Structure 1
Amino acid sequence: MDNIKFTPQDILHKQFKEKSIGKGYDVDDVDGFLDDVIKDYDTYNKEVARLQDENERLKAKVDELNRQLEIGSSIGAAAPASQPVVSSTTNMDILKRLSNLERRVFGSQLGDDGDSHLL
């Protein structure tokens, strides 16, 4: 956004030079100003598109983290009564639980890498 030259107030209060001969404004002055306004609009459009992309990416990440949290909660709910479920589960705890569950369920399909004794 550092490339933006004009604020809406700058555009509103812009005064063009009048021609010394004849009536009207200096065409080069008006054209130069409009060229700069167009560049600003291009910069704004690019920034809006970038922010929209980032917003979508972050929304997808939040959705994925919520799914992971739900998986972690369902694993915690399925734990035996003798093991208390801690409500302040960290993301690392959830990932460890998910990894252990994947090893138990898919261990034989993942290939033997010497961890089969952990199953």
Structure 2
Amino acid sequence: MLSDKIKLTAKDILEKDFKTSVRGYKPEDVDKFLDLIIKDYETFHQTIEDLQHELMRLKKQASDDSYRRQPSQPSQPTPATGTTNFDILKRLSNLEKHVFGSKLND
């Protein structure tokens, strides 16, 4: 699970306390940067949550759709849109005329 791999949460970052030294960083700069990181973490977390919900919804929809299909009826291949057997035969005939020309009637 993803939560097992993530080491920090937005709360962990917010509550992190850095010790200062004589030549340390400005606490204001660190706080501003950590605020940006917290916002990113919250955004990432929300995005992950939304995607997990969408994935569950799609899996449920897919299982519902497969349940609705009736396995007793074999699926029929559908011809290309607007193409019928007549159209295919007509095309084949035209192709034969083009390739064989007058030899076809002999």
Q: TM-score, normalised by structure 1?
A: 0.46
Secondary structure at 1:16's aligned position in 2?
coil
Q: TM-score, normalised by structure 2?
A: 0.51
Map of 2:64 onto structure 1: 63
Residue 6 in structure 1 maps to residue 19 in structure 2: no
> Which amino acid counterpart does residue 10 of structure 1 have in structure 2?
D
Map of 1:34 onto structure 2: 35
> Size of the alignment, in residue pairs?
74
Q: In structure 1, how many angstroms separate the alpha carbons of the residues matched to 2:14 and 2:35?
A: 13
RMSD: 3.5
- Segments of structure 1 that go 5 or more residues without pairing to the other structure are 72-93, 104-110, 115-119
Deviation at 1:11, TM superposition (A): 3.2
Higher relative contact order (CA 8 A, sep 6+): 2
Larger radius of gyration: 2
Sequence identity percentage = 18
Q: In structure 2, how many angstroms separate the alpha carbons of the residues matched to 1:19 and 1:61?
A: 58
Of 53, 75, 98, 2:73 maps to 98
Q: In structure 1, how many angstroms separate the alpha carbons of the residues matched to 2:33 and 2:56?
A: 35
